[in-house]
Chain A
Amino acid sequence: MQKKISRREFLRFGGLGLLGGAGAALLNRQPGPALAQGAPIPSPADGHDGHEPEYTASEHAGHGGSGTVGTVDHEFNRFHPSEMLSDFDYGTISTLPGGQRLREYEFIAVDREIEIAPGVRFPAWAFGSLTSPEAQRRGGFVGRVPGPTIRCVEGDRVRIKMVNAGSHPHTMHFHGIHSAAMDGVPGVGPGVIDPGQSVIYEFDARPFGCHLYHCHAIPLARHIHKGLYGGFIIDPDPEKYAGDERRAAAGRNHQHPENREWQELFMLMNAFDTNFDKENEVYAVNSIAFGYMNDPIPVQRDKPVRIYLVNLTEFDPINSIHIHANFFDYYDHGTTLTPTLKTVDTIMQCQAQRGIIEVSFKGFEPGHYMFHAHQSEFAELGWMGFFDVQE
């Protein structure tokens, strides 16, 4: 323990050592520079030992022995966490007689196995949609966990036909504003949809923000943790706002050129209780344990990043995200155009809480920047990943 740890060894400590700036400083036995906004970004090349860091892209794989062994069979899943980040389902678009835009979706609930960690298969209940990018790419329906990320614009008419092709009654309950009959809960309106039956949910998309949908059939905990959930993003309509708010809304709205200046990522924090003991064995964003550890998320450092973050972790009261070596602005529920939290590096969410993170790596030294739940247990059970910041 008293041995001085070299920079290379320090890097080998990887995930464990990096789990906190304080821990890193302790390991290094070297006080780290205080990171303030606007301060120059410390680069590994500024190392006190004068050696070039021997960090290579492959080294992240060996996190001092931590992590899963093997690789997930993404072909078996027919969905890939790297694609899920930016796969948005815009539905089939048409215009209603009154001029309102209509987005139509056909969602299908199925029973299927998904591989959530190398070699570990989970008997999931999954939503898929015929208009989702996976279905288009693969020329057919793909049941995925999380379900397709619905993306629409404030004021759109949204019509979702849900077909239950699974073995249990299901519903779709949207976090948004709608009538009681369209709430997708047992005993109200169409209530639960039995296997082989279908239903149409229809409402105007509001309020804008980062929302979600999930099955509300009982027993609720099982229907949620088996995988029946997904993102439901309503972009703000810039026409409704003025000044700075209008600019912010345009940057958020996928139909506007200002939105192309952003790199947008959808991340849903979920977990799987593989042995059904009411405790999760696997934690992840977008289902695959260490998915973004094995396939780091490429980030163009001059392009700001917007993360739509949703928490659907069952059995644990909260989940969280911490982004290393950086600070970000946070919009709780995404329902405002100015941040609800400024300059933070960790936020937490209870189940169904969600929000938007806006973070920039502008001017940063290229490299792997870690992000993970700052419940160390969740991190080491799979909820850990890297941004691969590139020039």
Chain B
Amino acid sequence: MTTEKNFLSRIPLWVLAVIPLALLAALVLLFVNTNPLAVTSAALPPVEELDVQRVTLPEPGLIVLEVVNGGPDPVTVAQVLVDDAYWQFEIEPGNTLPRLGRATIRIPYPWVEAEPHEIALVTSTGVTFDAAVELSTQSPALGGGQLLAYALVGFYVGVIPVGLGLLWFPAMRRLSRTGMGFILSLTVGLLVFLLVDTFLEMLELSAELPGVFQGVPLGLFMALLTWLGILAVGNRPQAAGRNTPEGRRFVAWLIALGIGLHNLGEGLAVGAAFALGEAALGSFLVIGFILHNITEGVGIAAPVAKDQPKPGWFLGVLLLAGGPAILGSLMGAFAFSPLVGVIFLGIGIGAIWQVIVEVGRLLQRDHEREGQPLATWANLAGLALGIAVMYVTAFLVKF
């Protein structure tokens, strides 16, 4: 026993650390070279998985597809069908996509304005992968005018409603304690809705990701990391005292951040929908978003209603909460990436979760000071109204 212990202790630490890795390398080499499991995969065709990440119509008579090979084996795109017709195409960098390889397929097809088109990629083994254009319209080109237009869409969806909501700040200052409880509860209700909504958006976007990226776990881990990160930041001394104006402002900043990330998701969806011609509602949709998001401003301002924030502070939270919608809209229109979207939405979930906890605590402390229970009828009504307003106004923006 002792000799063995002495023997092991004489081996340098780095050797002990490397031994399992060396064995692992040997095992990998063995598997790659001899394929001991060949019996289970003999003569089976490769498992093919192609994910069409984006379909754009950059000019009349041209359809462009961006595809990713999300499967374990290389995939060769042999032919392309558009509306059940074989069609000419060019594929860059080449017909065969390695695992996780990307390719751009350009199809000179005379697509018809405002009508749907179906595209199928036929691989060398005859498997087909489908993509669709719901409503054909020319995709936005990366030019000044188009950039401005999509930035404006984001401005309407995010900045304007949050800004309008913040204008209730003077009115909120005159509210009684019960009224403040009501408004804070309303904020919690609003945030609960946003939490669910952001989570569902994350699930939806994850479905567009190739399986290897594990979209749902990725989103959830981003949420977890964000939550822990905010906890760490929130425990710093200068932010710790939630009863101080600084502490309350910190909570408001957090709300603005959570709402901002949610609005990024909304901007992403709206920008992509406009670009792909799916959102034909135009101004109706914009009005819907203004109504839907107007309570977000109330939520941000509620924790600091007793304080005297400077106008610059309001501008800051407005940009943090509304600005990401502009970024989202531009991304959705010009550089749609489900991967980036899932990451941002995951961050949003984590942030909104922690914001609900923070506002809840704020509410609880207020009530404890007054010796009142937390679950008053006014608070419950606020919570219910917060959720209800968001749910009903969502009718205007869900498509």
Residues of A within 8 A of B (CB): 62, 64-70, 117-123, 272, 274-275, 277, 281, 289-290, 377, 380-382
Contact = CB atoms under 8 A, between A and B. Distances in A.
Contact of A117 (B79, B85, B107): B79
A284 B248 CA distance: 73
B370 interface: no
Nearest to A277: B128
B224 interface: no
Given A66-B86, A274-B122, A380-B86, A120 B78 contact: yes
A381 B83 CA distance: 10
Given A68-B86, A69-B88, A120 B126 contact: yes
A327 to B, nearest CB: 27
A83 to B, nearest CB: 23
A39 B386 CA distance: 81
A351 to B, nearest CB: 20
A278 to B, nearest CB: 13
B119 to A, nearest CB: 13
B108 interface: yes
Given A274-B126, A275-B128, A65 B87 contact: yes
B94 to A, nearest CB: 12
For A117, A277, A290, the residue with the greatest tally of chain B CB atoms inside 10 Å of its CB is A117
A382 B76 contact: no
A382 B86 contact: yes
Nearest to A62: B88
Interface in B63-111: 76, 78-81, 84-89, 95, 107-110
A255 to B, nearest CB: 41
Contact of B84 (A65, A123, A381): A381
A292 B319 CA distance: 64
Tell me the dominant secondary structure on chain A's binding face: loop
B40 to A, nearest CB: 19
A296 B89 CA distance: 23
24 contacts: A62-B88, A65-B108, A65-B110, A66-B86, A66-B87, A66-B88, A68-B79, A68-B86, A117-B122, A118-B78, A118-B79, A119-B78, A119-B124, A120-B122, A121-B125, A122-B126, A274-B122, A275-B127, A277-B128, A289-B86, A377-B84, A377-B85, A381-B81, A381-B84
Given A120-B78, A123-B45, A274-B122, 17 more contacts: A62-B88, A65-B110, A66-B88, A67-B87, A68-B79, A70-B78, A117-B122, A119-B79, A120-B123, A120-B125, A121-B125, A274-B126, A274-B128, A275-B128, A277-B128, A381-B81, A382-B86
Interface residues of B, number: 25
A119 B88 contact: no
A334 to B, nearest CB: 32
Contact of B86 (A122, A277, A381): A381
A229 B79 CA distance: 26
Contacts of A382: 86
Contacts of B86: 66-68, 117, 289-290, 380-382
A142 B285 CA distance: 64
Contacts of B125: 120-121, 274
Contacts of B127: 274-275
For A69, A275, A382, the residue with the greatest tally of chain B CB atoms inside 10 Å of its CB is A69
B124 A66 contact: no
Given A119-B78, A119-B95, A120-B78, A66 B126 contact: no
Interface in B106-143: 107-110, 120, 122-128
B88 A281 contact: no
Contacts of B76: 119
Contacts of B88: 62, 65-67, 69
A285 to B, nearest CB: 15
Contact of B124 (A120, A272, A290): A120
A81 to B, nearest CB: 16
Contacts of A64: 110
B124 A121 contact: yes
Contacts of A119: 76, 78-79, 95, 124
Nearest to B109: A65
B126 A281 contact: yes
A120 B79 contact: yes
Contacts of A70: 78
Contacts of B80: 69
B122 A281 contact: yes
Given A274-B127, A275-B126, A281-B126, A117 B78 contact: yes
Contacts of A381: 81, 84-86
Contacts of A277: 128
B225 to A, nearest CB: 40
B79 to A, nearest CB: 5
Contacts of B95: 119
Contacts of A121: 124-126
A272 B126 CA distance: 9
Contacts of A65: 87-88, 107-110
Contacts of A275: 126-128
For A70, A117, A120, A122, the residue with the greatest tally of chain B CB atoms inside 10 Å of its CB is A120
A281 B127 CA distance: 9
Nearest to B77: A119
A71 B88 CA distance: 12
B128 to A, nearest CB: 5
B148 to A, nearest CB: 31
For B85, B86, B127, the residue with the greatest tally of chain A CB atoms inside 10 Å of its CB is B86
A161 B122 CA distance: 38
A65 B82 CA distance: 11
Contacts of B87: 65-67
Contacts of A69: 79-80, 88-89
For B45, B109, B126, B127, the residue with the greatest tally of chain A CB atoms inside 10 Å of its CB is B126
B161 to A, nearest CB: 42
Contacts of B107: 65
Contacts of B108: 65
Contacts of A281: 81, 120, 122, 126, 128
A281 B120 CA distance: 10
